[in-house]
Amino acid sequence: MFDILVTGGAGYIGSHTCVALLEAGFSVVIADDLSNSKFEAVSRIRSITGNKVTFYPYDITDEIELERIFTRHAIRCVVHFAGKKAVGESVEMPLEYYRTNLLSTISLSRVMKRHGVKNIVFSSSATVYGNSKKVPYSEKSPTGNCTNPYAWTKWMNEQILSDVVRSDPDWSVVILRYFNPVGAHTSGKIGEDPLGLPNNLFPYLTQVAVGKLEQLPIYGSDYPTKDGTGIRDYIHVMDLAEGHVSAVRKCLRDFGVQIYNLGSGKGHSVFEVIHAFEEATARKIPYVICPRREGDVSASYASTKKAAEELHWKSRRTLADMCTDAWRWQESNPQGYC
């Protein structure tokens, strides 16, 4: 029996992916320093799946800590989520972002190499497509031209891992470019629990609905879109989690670098999201139109053809499912994990 190491497995996407991996029969070890998550998420992964999950509260930029994990467990593949992810914060503290997001991948890959583990699935982001205007984005769309340090760290990590494969073709690297992950597990036990004021649309929306925040700011209503608000490709986090199960299988089977978009392939405007949320939850969402947010593009959505053909994976859940599940999580955990 072998283990999958999930770095950042206590976080939002990591916790849902651990559930999907455990339900698919994989054995999971988590390394997460809890810098942006709570141990309670790990307890809830255990309670949803009834499985044993080994947890290490380690900083994965530290090779000595990583060594302990690779010595104790027969790791066959790493799913690497750990890192910092707030765009605005990355502009204010670029060095912290470059340090954590690059050093984590470098330390991890060095320890993996020492232990002969050459399979890794990496969390990248649609943000690597930068301000490129032509949608839908396919994996061949130009990348770079990034607009903030966070995005550059994703772009640089893709480069680092591609160079590792170039140096040793026995490596298997699967790079996943997520679009906009939202929603929660249907149990309502795990979900997105941002620290402080949410940066993203869905957690802001659910916190307005639960009465923690007064009204939703809509950043721009003068985009060249059907109703003037920004268009994004929202993907249910459990669809995304299941995409990782397919990616792990692919990673274990193949060699080289494979890159896939994980999105729904559909674009929804901010107004469409608000209306879908109001319908799914029977709550009215007060909002205020604000100026555009710096760095935002008018529309971003994925071409999902490559993932469908090669990973045999497609998102299944609807925008209504995303709203219902996000709301169930928020309503049953108004203060998050506490």
From the list 29-37, 250-258, 298-306, 316-324, the region that binds ligand NAD by CB under 6 A is: 29-37
- The least distance separating ligand NAD from the CB of residue 169, rounded to whole angstroms, comes to 26
Q: Does residue 235 bind ligand WQD (CB under 6 A)? A: no
Contact pattern from residue 48 through residue 77 relative to ligand NAD, giving x for each residue in contact according to CB under 6 A and a dash for the rest: -----------xxx----------------
CB 75 within 8 A of CB 7: no
229-251 as b/e, with b when 16 or more CB fall inside 10 Å? bbbbbbbbbbbbbbbbbbbbbbb
Taking the alpha carbons of 222, 228, 233, 234 in that order, is the dihedral positive or negative? positive
Binding partner of 204, given ligand NAD, ligand WQD, none, CB within 5-8 angstroms per partner class: ligand WQD
150 in active site: yes
Euclidean distance between CA atoms 182 and 192, whole angstroms: 8
Residue in 12, 56, 129, 150 annotated catalytic: 150
Q: Is 35 in the site for ligand NAD (CB under 6 A)?
A: yes
Alpha helices, DSSP H, located in 115-236: 149-167, 201-209
Window 271-310: residues binding ligand WQD (CB under 6 A): 293, 296
How near is the Cβ of 300 to ligand WQD at its closest, in Å?
Answer: 6
User: Among residue numbers 102 through 141, which ones bind ligand NAD (CB under 6 A)?
Assistant: 104, 123, 125
**What span, in angstroms and rounded, lies between the C-alpha atoms of 125 and 294?**
18
Residue 201 found at the interface with ligand WQD (CB under 6 A): yes
Q: State the number of binding residues for ligand WQD (CB under 6 A).
A: 18
User: Which does residue 293 bind out of ligand NAD, ligand WQD, none, counting CB within 5 to 8 angstroms by kind?
Assistant: ligand WQD
Residues 85-104 within binding reach of ligand WQD (CB under 6 A): 85, 87
Which C-beta is closer to ligand NAD: that of 7 or that of 264?
A: 7
Contact status: 83 vs ligand WQD (CB under 6 A): no
CA distance 331 to 338: 14
Give the H or E element holding residue 303. Answer: none
Instruction: Please list, residue by residue across 164-189, b when 16 or more beta carbons sit within 10 angstroms of its beta carbon and e when fewer do.
Output: bbeeeeebbbbbbbbbbbbbbbeebb
Placement of tokens 């971003």 in the chain: 300
Give the residue from 240, 206, 219 showing the smallest Cα distance to 126. 240
Residues 117 and 54 sit within 8 Å (Cβ to Cβ): no
Tokens for 158?
């893709």
Task: Compare residues 57 and 217 and give the one whose CB is closer to ligand NAD.
Answer: 57
Residue 298 partner contact from ligand WQD, ligand NAD, none using kind-dependent CB cut-offs of 5 to 8 Å: none
178 lies in the site for ligand NAD, by CB under 6 A: yes
Q: How far apart are CB 293 and ligand WQD at their closest, in Å?
A: 5
Q: Which is nearer to ligand NAD, 35 or 318 (CB)?
A: 35
One-letter identity of residue 96: E
CA dihedral 218, 221, 226, 232 (to 10 degrees): -40
Among residues 51, 187, 194, 219, the one that binds ligand WQD under rule CB under 6 A = 219
- Smaller CB distance to ligand WQD: residue 53 or 79? 79
Distance from C-alpha of 71 to C-alpha of 61, rounded to nearest angstrom = 17
Pick the binder of ligand WQD from 208, 209, 270, 319 (CB under 6 A): 270
The answer to whether the CB of 197 falls within 8 A of the CB of 280 is no
Which positions are annotated as active-site residues? 150
Per CB under 6 A, residues contacting ligand NAD are 7-8, 10-14, 31-37, 59-61, 81-83, 85, 100, 104, 123, 125, 178, 181
Residues that bind ligand WQD (CB under 6 A): 85, 87, 125, 127, 180, 199-201, 204, 216-219, 230, 232, 270, 293, 296
